Chain A
Amino acid sequence: MNILVLVKPVPDPEKYNEIRIDSQTKRLVREGVPTVINPTDRNALEAALQIRDAMEDSTVTVLSMAPEFSRDKIVECLAMGADDAYLLSDRAFGGADTYATSYVLAEGIKKVEAEKGLMFDLILAGNESADGATAHVPVQVAEWLKISHISRVCSLNVEDELIKLVKRSEDVMLSFQGEGPAVLAVTRDINKPRFVNAMGIVKARKKPLTIWSNEDMKLEESRLGLEGSPTQPGELIAPHMGRAGEPLVSGDATAADAAKAILSVMRKAGV
């Protein structure tokens, strides 16, 4: 089974208090904030590695669209156990919304498939990114590729090419089974991602990591980045978080008067 895992480097969620939003561009200012692999993408990679380790002749390929400085995060995926990786990196891809991002990723998947001469049986991704949290991308990628997709997958097994999974819905768990190709977006409760270990880091040196710019991809520039993104951010409004006090009784009121006044406010509020 050939599995592809979509991975996004994101600002470390533990440092979100250090992230600002540029009031002009409405984009995140990430300078000085360390980058990590999107947490649920690690779950997706772990799920892929578990399937590969249990099935002979299986491979796990990682694909990401990210600036080239995130290369070390893709190497980290190789150190975790992925067999090879592709990084789609070009200034033209920058500033993309989920529509333009998923378009580039889908085209990247097609190019990897053509390069390798195979079709991926399973494409896994984290259900949502820790920074954008739209949960759009896995679904959109599947739509571009015209293949099935299921989100919020919390359990996954593959038995003789038959994919068995459980999807968490609001108050029910839904079981599915079927054959690939499919895009599955996994939640963090699907597994506990393995630690990256020193042996994996040393082995990653020898694993192939291919970086493609748009010169390699040859995609129409009007469909990329800011230009190819229909989403237009509106105004940034910071809500007022202060508390407003209102005196209910005068300074010489008794405790009973104060209690009556408080009860009256509570009754009005329907408590």
Chain B
Amino acid sequence: MNFNFTEEQEMLRAAFAEFVKEEIAPKAAKWDEDNYTPLELMPKMGEMGILGVFVPEQYGGVGLGHTERVMALEEIARHSAGLAMMVFTHQLGMAAILDYGTEEQKMKYLPGMCAGTEICGLAVTEPGGGSDVAGQKTEAKLEDGQWVVNGRKCFITNSHCGTATVITCKTGEDEKGRSTFSCIILEKGTEGYSPGREENKLGLRGSMTGELIMNNAKVPEENLVGEAGMGTPIAMKEIGEVGRASMAAIATGIIRGCLEDAVKFSKERIVYGKPVSKLQAIQFHIAEIRCDYEAARLMTYRAAALKDEGKPAATEFSMAKYFATEAACRASKRLIEIMGGYGVVNEYAAGRYHRDALGCISSGGTSEIQKIIVAGDTLKKY
């Protein structure tokens, strides 16, 4: 058993951290305040190899794995969880194309997406629910060699900036009369397809979240990703192993922000003639945040390493997502308590961390959904 990153992975983390320090950290608070999505950073992140770090070189990627992808997300989320949301959702759609797309689809879409000149996404959730996949109403009918898509998706990250989004829609019924779903790529500019309302979110601001509306949108038949009727397993696999991995990584980045800010503030804040870091009450908070950070990190990277080994990791990602996002909420609340009045002043990042942490709970399935997945697996295995 080896808990160390390789020399190359350490070098990658340092490279990502340097990029984040220069290009993201100084602007993150302003993006949050203005709810601004820094689309101009996408080509720069493409140049850094962040967006396509897990994509093979022949499709414009770097050819590394999900451990490195998670590492980049942790580094970005350390300073801007909102931007990390945008990056991960882009990668979520890319993963669906990479894992299930045809060679033509991979060659057509992935190089631009790795470069950050095209923006991807994966749209499943509808007003009727996100985790209730079978309850989706969006429908696609094959007519004269084209899919005619009708329906509405909501809470979709990259809704208003995506240039090609993978959506799930009902395309038929099985022999028992149950709906079957497929994944189809919708390109920006398709007649009858447009973003709808954009949400004003509590946290994870700086990433666009909103509706996608399909009103007789006509899509070429070859835009089907994977086999017809396999939309649910495709979406579930990507959300389970790429989406939840990302949420765990983003939450881990938020906890690290809480930890670093807690240490810095408590050493600088003088009360009764000494830094508050000397007070046991403050030290207890710091120890709790540190333990949460280490545990979240171990769970997240272990699950990513399993995926890179080609082993099933959905339950491990669910555990990591559940633990890390709840821990991020705890850590950011503790940071606010350590900082006293300063903790609720928006000049400091503590409040933003807390809003971002709360935003992480619902994305990729709530804590209760994760517990149902973990329990299901546990009851089978033990």
Contacts and interface: CB of A to CB of B under 8 A. Distances in A.
Contact of A197 (B10, B22, B47, B68): B47
Q: How large is the interface on B (under 10, 10 to 19, 20 to 34, 35 or more residues)?
A: 10 to 19
Contacts of A131: none
Interface stretch (A199-207, A238-246, A250-258): A199-207
A79 interface: yes
B8 A205 contact: yes
B123 interface: no
Interface in B30-86: 47-50, 53, 62-64, 68
Judged by DSSP, the binding face of B is helix
A36 to B, nearest CB: 9
B173 interface: no
A198 B10 contact: no
B273 to A, nearest CB: 18
Contact of A195 (B7, B19, B53): B19
Interface residues of A, number: 12
A195 B18 contact: yes
Contacts of A72: 7, 10-11
A75 interface: yes
Contacts of B62: 198-199, 202
A171 to B, nearest CB: 31
Given A72-B7, A205-B8, A196 B15 contact: yes
B8 A201 contact: yes
B295 interface: no
A199 B49 contact: yes
Contacts of A68: none
Nearest to A194: B47
A90 interface: no
A167 to B, nearest CB: 28
Contacts of B374: none
B236 interface: no
A201 B11 contact: yes
Contacts of B53: 198
Interface string B166-193: 0000000000000000000000000000
Given A72-B10, A196-B14, A205-B8, 11 more contacts: A72-B11, A75-B11, A76-B14, A79-B11, A79-B15, A195-B19, A197-B48, A197-B49, A198-B15, A201-B11, A202-B64
Interface of B: 7-8, 10-12, 14-15, 18-19, 22, 47-50, 53, 62-64, 68
